[in-house]
Chains A and B, each alone.
Chain A
């Protein structure tokens, strides 16, 4: 082979080598792309929470409250109207409270003075803290109670006013159009699902925790259940 042929051979080899390498790499990428395109995506999709504590019974209560308060209607929900809690819950008082026990970390209890439905400063701060911790929850329940002093009718009205006071403060402070679709109010008066001393360890707006003081209250919690 003469020198000219050798030079030509070298030139052709030098030209073909990068082209061949690129050809091989490019074809390989094309094959991998075709294979990966057929594989399903494994990325999670953003969704509301549905925690483990969402038992069928709790979901049932949530659904009943949400329906009674017009929270689950797509458009023009009527908001929360006075509700007969016993009918909505369809449970004994003890069973009703037991449903909310897993919420110890999410729930807050604001306490009121005797025969008073206004929030004090500590209660307002606690309401705001509770509301701001929505995370993935869909519904915010306010369950108001009254201690047994006074007539049952008066206490039912008082507990309703206490629940309403929480809602009013949220509306005033956050001016959130979503509020009407997320807040469910329940007022239990004095004769259903009174809170026991075990709730004294929960997050409350006051130190005092006699049974009477504990039930002059509104229990608030975001419910992490998808219904």
Chain B
């Protein structure tokens, strides 16, 4: 059962290595319930804990792959006494220790899911399988007799065998999956007019490497990128400025409908919080953006029902923007923010990240984010970054 759940999870992860959008299996029934939209499974998959070595391998090596290898190994180890018709306490004891590994990892990953704030049903399947395997191993160990000469091998050998299972799967994964470096990094466009003469950018981070993010405060992908940036630890490297680009037709003439209703109002609120004159308050703008990310769904729903109510809600939670929100000055400012995208002939989508004016490719902004960002950072003059090939 654990092998099946982990196989489903590995398959889901691996399909994303084609850099496209896919549905995910998200059900307690292995292989059932494929979903395309947002779900706990998607949040967990895109979180930095779903794979390791993300800054060295595009997308990283999925932890589900190792789970699959370990569960397969446990099948082999548990099947051996059945085929042989005998076992001993030493072998059964090793099986208890071996099943302790997925059990321990399940405990760690359950805690991480609380941290991420999302639960993945397929992962829960693996947690339950781990518990069942461990309990079964303990029960078997309690019923097995003392050492038997029929049982060949030693715990060290069995352990090495397990390592071999993991190593083989990992090696095959690295050998057959698409190469990390497609040679596209830094070739997905550059800014032609990075300057901000109209003062529309919002200071998001204060690191040494200049970067610009084109974002919509009510866009789930922008929120996810923000989370990934924070979790990656690479965010502190960026002197990140945000350009507001709401995908909402009430202010953005480049979209024909409100993909994120209320995004224009929230963007205005962020600009108001930062201040429209010479004196800026970027901390207030960041607070409002964080609030928008945290309440995206509620704000979108509020805007759908009554745009005035959204404005009232924002003014209630951020009294400092009263008198500015909805005014001619801030509308003019937001228009200039949108026109900054026109001046740079940017694609009409969010988020977009530019590091030293070079655009991160769209397909690199989810699973391959850490790898691509590390590469873009390392491409800078004399800036050595850890883990970049």
Contact = CB atoms under 8 A, between A and B. Distances in A.
Interface of A: 3-4, 6-7, 10-11, 13-15, 17-23, 25-30, 32-33, 36-37, 41, 43-49, 128-129, 131-136, 173-174, 176-178, 224
Interface of B: 3, 7, 10-11, 14-20, 65, 68-69, 72-73, 75-76, 79-80, 83-85, 152, 161, 164-165, 168-169, 172-173, 175-178, 182, 197-198, 251, 253-254, 327-329, 331-332, 335-336, 338-339, 341-342, 344-349, 362
Tell me whether chain B's interface is mostly helix, strand or loop, or mixed: helix
Contacts of B69: 18
A29 B17 contact: yes
A132 B69 CA distance: 61
A21 B4 CA distance: 12
Contact of A22 (B10, B19, B347): B10
Which of B7, B16, B169 has the most chain A CB within a 10 Å cutoff? B169
Contacts of A173: 328-329
Contacts of B152: 4
B347 A132 contact: no
Contacts of B169: 18-19, 22
A7 B254 contact: no
B348 A45 contact: yes
27 contacts: A7-B79, A10-B80, A11-B161, A14-B72, A18-B65, A20-B172, A22-B14, A22-B169, A22-B176, A23-B172, A29-B17, A29-B18, A29-B177, A32-B18, A32-B20, A33-B20, A36-B18, A44-B347, A49-B253, A128-B329, A131-B328, A131-B332, A132-B331, A134-B339, A135-B251, A135-B253, A178-B336
A195 to B, nearest CB: 25
Given A14-B73, A15-B72, A29 B14 contact: yes
Contacts of A32: 18, 20
A142 to B, nearest CB: 16
Nearest to A9: B83
B122 to A, nearest CB: 15
Given A15-B72, A132-B331, 5 more contacts: A22-B68, A33-B19, A45-B347, A46-B348, A133-B331
A17 B165 CA distance: 10
A131 B182 CA distance: 46
Nearest to B214: A46
A46 B342 CA distance: 5
Nearest to A19: B172
